[in-house]
Structures are given as structure tokens and as C-alpha cells.
Amino acid sequence: MDEPINENKNLSPKIPSSYFTPLDDTHHFDNERIAAPSLSFYQDAWRRLKKNKAAVASMIILLLIILVEVLSIWYSPYDPNLQNVPHANLPPRIPHVNINGFNGKAKISGVWVDKYELVHVPKDLNYYFGTDAFGRDLLSRVLAGTRVSLLIALAAAFFDLIIGITYGLVSGWKGGSVDTIMQRILEIISGIPTLVVVILMLLFIRPGVTSIIIALGLTGWITMARVVRAETLKLKNQEFVLAARTLGESSLNIAVGHILPNLSGIIIIQTMFTIPSAIFFEAFLSFIGIGMRAPNASLGTLLNEGYKTFRFLPHLMWFPAVAICVIMITFNLLADGLRDAFDPKMKD
Amino acid sequence: MSGFFRFILKRIVYMLITLLLISSCTFLLMNFLPGSPYGNEEKLTNKQREVMNERYGLNKPLGERYIIYMSGMLKGDFGISLQFGDQPVRSILSKRIGPSLQLGIQAMILGTSVGIILGMIAAMFQNSFIDAIVSLIAIIGRSVPNFVFAVLLQLLFAVYLKLFPIALWDKGFLSTVLPTVALSVSPMADSARFIRTEMIEVLNSDYIELARAKGMSEWRVAFKHGLRNALIPLITILGPMSVSLMTGSLVVENIFAIPGIGEQFVKSIMTNDYSTIMAVTMLYSTMLVTIILFVDILYGIVDPRIRVGGGEY
């Protein structure tokens, strides 16, 4: 590199020589130094996640929803199953909001009528989301239903983690004939539609939260097992595993202590994708009438009840519909954000 | 090529094992199900119950019933419905398969074609406003449950605008429009997302650069060279997509009162009509397993690497 780079020497007279001053001796800098702070795996993922506005907004909304749901266990406005027939079918009334549809007025044969006055509801008694055909407070019911959805999501994620990770890790780590047999079993099971398993389980066990959780737990783990196995196969030939082996670590220790932490990224991503599908399945089953049983509220049963009287009492359909859409959209957006954050290669 | 045949053979064997497993499991589950299939059980005398059991063959030992059930199923005979006027399950279902199949195929075609176009446009104008809109559509399509969509479509286009019949299957093609659209939302969102990712990868490859260098217009490049290659991997999500269509048909057929398999399935579940439930279960499983096999074979033909690798992907 000692030959002159600039061959056009006749260009240089145009630039005044005063531009070329020797660099100040005090400006020593170490170009070997790494200026960016060293980030751990999670810090790095968090940094990428923070850039994704939709995912951050979804996370905040979800945290708020979870907080409200936890609080509503003790501070529900009304008992979600408490019937108060005189106050049946009231439209929503929110104090100080004067928009037709939210001020206690409902359209009866083309005219807006204050239904609260018709049945003499006290001035200070408001149903923010209105009431259903039995006079049950819809807000309390939507809160209770969302709680069911979140509970099922949590349980589905838990089963997904426990069964899926164990199966995938054992299959990938053991390898050989164990892996072959486990993969064949997986291949056979994965041909069974989830719908069929869930419905058979619901026929067998009494419908309710537990049976839905068991049914979803039985089927949800297959993708997780596949993903974990594939990743374990990739990791198990790497140097750090060899190093652990050389140090005399037991097989179990390596699998749990060294391989598993390296899988955390894909595990988080996969779990986040299980959650919305579990929420959907519960709502779906309850909507067609084989999930949660009356009088217990779930978003699916509320939608089913609301659908029947949609034209006349639109609030009974709209509030649960918006609730389930918000949960599903935020979970999906957060899942997408986490996937991009943990695995930038997969970004689409 | 012999490797490919071995691969297909292996897949068929797994498929048969899966079906055997499902049919045996449903048989056993139905057998140990609490309750009885007779409507007013408590009013029956022992003699009556015996006669009924004799008539439906329920007095035979479990093993023998299993053999009868399995051999009947191989011949396509699923017994008689326990609820719907003693009709053979086969004739109940065969009447209903047409509407379901028509809806499913229409929704699949509509959903994937709209999805492909959306995904392609999003990839061509990556990170632009259009891309953001497509992403939004995909997220909404993936998140909003199809029964919510179905109800909203019904309300808007049938009740308020009166463009389509509200429900029932008596106006020919017009009655299929709304349910098809409601069902197609999920395959549309899935394929839009998938094609966008694939297309971005393809558009960044060298042969696309060459096509551009030759002076082809951007749209021609996208359609002629890009889309062709981006479409191939779409085959892999046909399986999951048909599962979601199957699931969706249960609610959509109910909402639009369509005389299809899904509607019958829900009815049968509600009334403990065991023989019909078993038949529909088998029908769905067979359909899914066949689609998975078909997808595997198709992909093996399209992508030679899988043939050589023996299907490990």
C-alpha cells in the first residue's frame, strides 16, 4: 500500500495547502476499543423491541389489560352472574358522555328513548357497557370473560412450554433411535386435526375452563416440540457443548444448563404464537356452544349471546367483539415484535 | 427417483397409521363416554333397553363391535345416525358435503389470490405506506376471529345494504358470497404475509438483478420472475390453511345457516349423535392427512432437494 493513491497530482493545486494540517498529537484515540456497550442477549433483544412502536404499544395495552383483570377479581363493578331482571337490556350509559348509544338512550321504533328513565334507574347508577337480557352488568361480564381468555392463554402457554420443550429437547438431544421413534410418533400425531381432539375431549370431560385447557394442552405442544428439536440438533454439535462434555458435565446438565438457555429466544417466540391461537380456540368453542357453560361468561359465550340480538341490542355484541379483537391484535403484534427482536434473521 | 417413491410410500404408511389411531381413539372414547345415546333413558325398561341394544348392535362385546365398526368404515359405512330419524350417517353427510366443499374451495381460491396480490405489492413497495396498509390488513385478518367477521359481514351487506341473502342456501351463487368472504379472511392474511416475506427474499436475488439489468419493467420482473419463485413455498402452508378453513366452516356455516358438514357436526355434538360425530371426525382427519400427503408429494416434485433429502425439512 505504499504506492500513491491519488494519481491525479495536477488536481491538488486547487486545494489550498492550509487545509492540510498535521493531526493534533493530543488526539490519540484507541481504534481497538469497542465503543458500543456490550449487551447481553436479552438487552439486545429489548433494544430491538423498543424500536418497534406497534409492539411496545401492544405490550403496554396488554399490561394494562392484565392489571385491570387482576384488579377486577376484587373490584368488579357488579357480580358478573348477578341477575337483576328489572334492569334488563339497558344500553350503555357513561356519565357526562352525550352521544346517542352511550347515554342510556336506545332507538325504539326509530326514536331515541331513554331506557334508564323507562325502568326508573337511579340517576347515579350507571352501566357503562349496558346490561344483558337478565340485567347482568355487561362490563363485569366482559371483564370476567377476558379473565377466562387470559387464564386459558396462560395455561396453554404453560403446557406448550412443559410438554413441547421436554419432548423436543429429549428428541433432539438423545438423537439416534430415540429421536427417530419420537419423530415418527410426532408425525403421526400431527396428522390429527386439533379441532377433532378438542371436540372429542370436550365430549369426554365436562365442558368448562379445565377441559378446554386440557384439550388445548394435548394438542398445542407439537409445533414447540418440532422447533425445539430442530434448534437442539443445531446446537448440540457446537463447541460450548463439547467444552461442557470435556469438563465432565452430565448429559442432563448440559441439556438443561447449556442448551436450554440458548433456546430461550425461539421458545419465547413460539409461546407468544400459541397464546392467540388458544384464545381464539376458546372463544370459538364457546361461540358454537360447546365451550364454557352458562351462566359463566367467556368472550365466546358473550359473543354468542350478543349475536342473537345484534340488531336490537348492538352493545351486547360490540363490547365483547372489540374486547377479543383488541386482545388478539395486541398479542399478535407483540408476538411479531418479539420474533423480530429475538431473531432478526426471521424479520419479514 | 426411487428415493422419491420410498418417500411417498413412507408418507402413506404414516398416514394410514394416523387414521387407524384416530379411528380407534374415537371408537374407544365414544364407547366410554358418560351417558347413553338414547333420548329418554330413564324411562326405558330393561327389556326395552335390551331390544334397543340388540337393534343397534350395542350388546355385542367391545372387540367384535370394533371389528364391525372398522370393517364398515373401510366400506364407507358409518352406521345409522342415533338422532336424525334413523338415517344412515353416510346419506346424511353425502348430502352435505357439496356446500362445504364449494365454500372451502371458493374461500381458498379467493383468499390465496387476494393474499398473493397484496403480499406481492407490499414486497415491491417495501417499507412504504402501501406496505404498512397490507401489514395492517394481515394483522387484522389474522387476529379478528372469523365468526366476528362473518357476523359483521352479515349485518352490513345482508341486513343493512340488502345486497346478499342473510342466510340459507337457496339463492345459488349469491348465497355463497358472504360465507366465502368470511372464510377467506384467514387464508388471505396468511398468504399475504407469507408471500411478502418470500417475495422480498426473491427480489433481492441475483437473477432478479439480471432481469432488471436487461431492462425489464419492475412489474414484469415481479410477476414473471419474482412471483413464480415466491409461490412455490406457499404450498407448505396449504395444510395449516385448510385446517383453519375446516375450523372456520363450523361457525360460518352456523351463522349463515348453510346445510354443510360443519353445521351438521355442531348439531351432532349438541345432541350426542355418536355415529355422526365419529364419521365427521374421520372425514376431517382423512381430509387433513390427504392434504398433508398431497402437499408433501407436490413439494417433492417442485423442489428436488426434498426428494434427495428424504423429506427431512
Judge residue A191's burial from the number of C-beta atoms within 10 Å of its C-beta, 0-12 exposed, 13-18 middle, 19 or more buried.
buried
Element (H, E) at B146: helix B146-153
* Chain A residues within 8 A of B196 when measuring between CB atoms: 348
pLDDT above 90 for B161:
no
Rounded mean pLDDT of chain B?
82
In-domain check, residue B17: no
- Mean pLDDT along residues B160-164: 75
CA dist B244 → A203, A214, A306, B165 (Å): 21, 20, 24, 25
In-domain check, residue B76: no
Total structural domains within chain B: 1
Nearest CA to B86 among B55, B109, B117? B55
Mutation for testing the A interface, residue in B25, B147, B256, B274 having most A CBs under 10 Å: B147
Residues A109 and A186 in one domain: no
Q: What residue of A is the nearest CA neighbor of B267? A: A288
* Chain A residues within 8 A of B277 when measuring between CB atoms: 199, 203
* Chain A residues within 8 A of B200 when measuring between CB atoms: 348
What B262-266 contacts at long range (C-beta under 8 Å, 24+ apart), as own/partner pairs, is B262/B100, B263/B96, B264/B92, B264/B93, B264/B96, B265/A199, B266/A288, B266/A289, B266/A290
- The HSE-up count of residue B99 (CA atoms within 13 Å, CB side) is 28
Residue at grid coordinates 423442489: B303
- Mean pLDDT along residues B183-204: 88
| Burial track A264-284 (b if 16+ CB lie within 10 A, e otherwise) | ebbbbbbbbbbbbbbbbbbbb
Q: Quick one: pLDDT at residue A190?
A: 80
- In this structure, which amino acid lies at residue A305? E
Q: Do B21 and A192 touch (CB under 8 A)?
A: yes
In-domain check, residue A254: yes
Are B199 and B227 spatial neighbours (Cβ–Cβ below 8 Å)?
yes
In-domain check, residue A2: no
- Mean pLDDT along residues B184-191: 90
pLDDT digits (tens, 9 = 90+) for B194-239: 888 888 888 888 888 888 888 888 888 888 888 888 888 888 888 8
In-domain check, residue B62: no
Residues A183 and A106 in one domain: no
- Chain A: give the shortest CA distance to residue B308, in Å: 18
Q: Quick one: pLDDT at residue A12?
A: 56
Strand partners, B88: B80
Cell numbers found for residue A288: 358454537
Q: What residue of A is the nearest CA neighbor of B266? A: A288
Q: Quick one: pLDDT at residue A10?
A: 54
CA dist A32 → A23, A28, A38 (Å): 19, 12, 14
pLDDT digits (tens, 9 = 90+) for A221-261: 888 898 899 888 888 888 888 898 899 888 888 888 888 88
Among A65-69, A288-292, B26-30, B54-58, which is the least confidently predicted range? B54-58
Residues A223 and A99 in one domain: no
Nearest CA to A160 among A267, A265, A285, A291? A267
In-domain check, residue B194: yes
CB atoms within 10 A of CB B155: 17
Longest dimension (CA), chain A: 99
Q: Which residues of chain A carry a pLDDT beneath 50?
A: 1-3, 347-348
pLDDT interval class at B304 (50, 70, 90): low
pLDDT above 50 for B312:
no
Residues A121 and A146 in one domain: no
Number of helices (H) and strands (E) in chain B: give both, helices first: 14, 0
Helical H runs in chain A? 41-51, 53-75, 115-118, 138-159, 165-174, 176-189, 194-204, 209-235, 239-246, 251-253, 260-288, 299-308, 314-342
Kindly tell me the sign of the dihedral angle through the C-alpha atoms of A230, A231, A232, A236: positive
Q: Quote ipTM for the complex.
A: 0.82
Residues A148 and A200 in one domain: yes
Q: Which of B33, B139, B250 sits opposite A203 (nearest CB)?
A: B33
In-domain check, residue A4: no
* Chain B residues within 8 A of A191 when measuring between CB atoms: 14-15, 18-19, 22, 285, 288-289, 292
Q: What range defines the domain where residue A174 resides?
A: 44-79+136-341
Residues A233 and A95 in one domain: no
In-domain check, residue B256: yes
CB atoms within 10 A of CB A286: 26
Are A262 and A235 spatial neighbours (Cβ–Cβ below 8 Å)?
yes
End-to-end CA distance of chain B: 18
Q: What is the DSSP string of A131-148?
A: B-TT--BHHHHHHHHHHH
In-domain check, residue B117: yes
Q: Quick one: pLDDT at residue A2?
A: 47
Residues A101 and A224 in one domain: no
Residues A104 and A242 in one domain: no
- Chain A: give the shortest CA distance to residue B170, in Å: 22
Is the pLDDT higher at B16 or at B171? B16
∠ CA(A164), CA(A169), CA(A174), 5° rounding? Answer: 140
Total structural domains within chain A: 2
- The HSE-up count of residue B228 (CA atoms within 13 Å, CB side) is 9
In-domain check, residue A8: no
Are B119 and B193 spatial neighbours (Cβ–Cβ below 8 Å)?
yes
Element (H, E) at B305: helix B304-309
Q: Do B159 and A276 touch (CB under 8 A)?
A: no
Residue at grid coordinates 369426554: A204
Q: Do A191 and B139 touch (CB under 8 A)?
A: no
In-domain check, residue B192: yes
Q: What is the DSSP string of B107-119?
A: HHHHHHHHHHHHH
In-domain check, residue A1: no
In-domain check, residue A26: no
Q: Quick one: pLDDT at residue A86?
A: 73
- In this structure, which amino acid lies at residue A122? P
Residues A116 and A143 in one domain: no
Domain of A297: which CATH number?
Answer: 1.10.3720.10
Q: How far apart are CA A230 and CA A117, in angstroms?
A: 65
Q: What range defines the domain where residue B203 resides?
A: 89-310
Q: Quick one: pLDDT at residue B36?
A: 67
Q: Quick one: pLDDT at residue A26?
A: 67
Chain A / chain B CB contacts < 8 angstroms = 111
* Chain B residues within 8 A of A194 when measuring between CB atoms: 243, 247
Cell numbers found for residue B124: 415491491
Q: Judge whether A328 is closer than 8 Å to chain B, CB to CB.
A: yes
Q: How far apart are CA A304 and CA A294, in angstroms?
A: 11
In-domain check, residue B97: yes
Is the pLDDT higher at B10 or at B187? B187
Q: Which of A288, A324, A348 sits opposite B197 (nearest CB)?
A: A348
* Chain B residues within 8 A of A307 when measuring between CB atoms: 151, 255
Residue at grid coordinates 352488568: A137
In-domain check, residue A32: no
Residues A111 and A232 in one domain: no
Residues A277 and A157 in one domain: yes
What is the DSSP-derived secondary structure letter of residue A216?
H
* Chain B residues within 8 A of A204 when measuring between CB atoms: 29, 32-33
Element (H, E) at A106: strand A105-108
Q: Do B277 and A203 touch (CB under 8 A)?
A: yes
Helix (H, G, I), strand (E, B) or coil at A19: helix
Cis, peptide link before residue A193, omega less than 30° from 0 = no
- Mean pLDDT along residues B283-291: 86
In-domain check, residue A337: yes
Q: Do A184 and B14 touch (CB under 8 A)?
A: yes
pLDDT above 90 for B110:
yes
Domain of B215: which CATH number?
Answer: 1.10.3720.10
Residues A122 and A244 in one domain: no
